[in-house]
Structure 1
Amino acid sequence: MDAPVETLTLRDPQMLLAQTLRGWSPADDLWVFGYASLIWRPEFDADEQRAAAVHGWHRALRMRSRINRGTPERPGLVFALVSGGSCRGVVYRIERSRAERELERLWAREMPTGVYDPRWLACRTPQGTVRALGFTLDRASPAHTGEIAEVEMLEILRHARGRYGSTLDYLLETAACLRSRGIRDREIERLERLARTLKTA
């Protein structure tokens, strides 16, 4: 999950927040699912975190980033949760007395343009299943790239850089964080091998 991510198509973030809040009771603690930068840079205070797996969604480096990890002239990429497969990550629990305040901070980071489709996901943890907020991306979204040819991916990794750094650094940071937590992601490992060719080219 990665922020703020931008797209040319803007949706009202506050309307999406109101819709999302209808699926959560303020009497409950808030759970949030992290799958990329929310693992290595969550920027909110959690009362608990657990390893978790989501089925029906997978982590994919398929979201265009025109500011944070690229520019409008040379867009970069960030990870998103896209339908299909499964994804291992981390769930964070935020105690209900602080949940609305922390959710507002999270929303400002993840949803400044309303690019994601927030969903309540069933996340399996060693202690049982929890219902957590996850930031997904519709394949029909203009921010979704679809399949990316290897030569195009190399060009992005070689050149795309935005206000928070390069797409390459973002990929490698995510890969290192997942590895430190014992999370295998074959697609990320493939992209890491591809990135290493940049150093030998």
Structure 2
Amino acid sequence: MDEFWVFGYGSLMWNPGFPYEERSLGRAFGYHRSLCVRSWVHRGTQENPGLVLGLDRGGSCKGVAFKVASDHWPETLDYLRERELVTNVYLERQVPVQLADRRSVSAVTYVVDRRHVQYSGAITPAEAARVVGSAVGRSGPNIAYLTNTVAHLREAGIRDHWLEKVESLIPVADRSA
């Protein structure tokens, strides 16, 4: 492997947690961003699961690609596996990504395992808002995850109308949680 890229589509975009030498907007192909993972650790509990993003099959997804220097590959991969594979709801994959400057790279990312018990499948924005509005996990309130993600997507010039709809259905007073 000549280069090591990581593709982020949710909190990894704004909180990568590893050193990188290049950051670029990019589009991953074959998957789309979806609020489809019932979070039992970071944004909810088994008794009151939250919802976090996964890459689900089909379509494409705009996000952020990070190029990691070769001397940081091993610890970055270890870190990502510890962060993303807590309950094994994600599968580590290499996906094609087209960067903003039109370069094509292969990037490590984490896609949802549709066979896993934490996969929520398709839910309505109203149901997602209800879940997000009531869940809290090790990393804080589920609402904070959603609002931070939507804000960072907007900041990057990425519109995700479905996530924006979910956020709009959460009472404004609750969004500051």
Structure with larger Rg: 1
2:89 alignment partner, one of 88, 106, 115: 115
Gaps of 5+ in 1: 1-24
1:163 aligns with 2:138: yes
For 1:61, the equivalent position in structure 2 comes to 35
1:175 alignment partner, one of 139, 150, 153: 150
For 1:6, the equivalent position in structure 2 comes to none
1:187 aligns with 2:162: yes
Matched to 2:88, the amino acid is G
Count of aligned positions: 173
For 1:43, the equivalent position in structure 2 comes to 17
Query: How big is each residue's C-alpha offset from its partner over 1:44-78, in whole Å with a ceiling of 9 and x where there is no partner?
Result: 00010111001221111110111211111111111
1:97 alignment partner, one of 71, 79, 83: 71
Preserved CA contact (<8 Å) 1:58 1:81: yes
Preserved CA contact (<8 Å) 2:93 2:108: yes
Gaps of 5+ in 2: none
Preserved CA contact (<8 Å) 1:158 1:198: no
1:130 aligns with 2:105: yes
1:71 aligns with 2:49: no
So what's the TM-score if we normalise by structure 1?
0.80
For 1:153, the equivalent position in structure 2 comes to 128
Q: Percent identity?
A: 38
Preserved CA contact (<8 Å) 1:39 1:89: yes
Cα shift at 1:151: 4.5
Matched to 1:123, the amino acid is V
Cα shift at 1:178: 0.7
Query: How big is each residue's C-alpha offset from its partner over 1:148-195, in whole Å with a ceiling of 9 and x where there is no partner?
Result: 244532321221111211111111000000111111111112112212
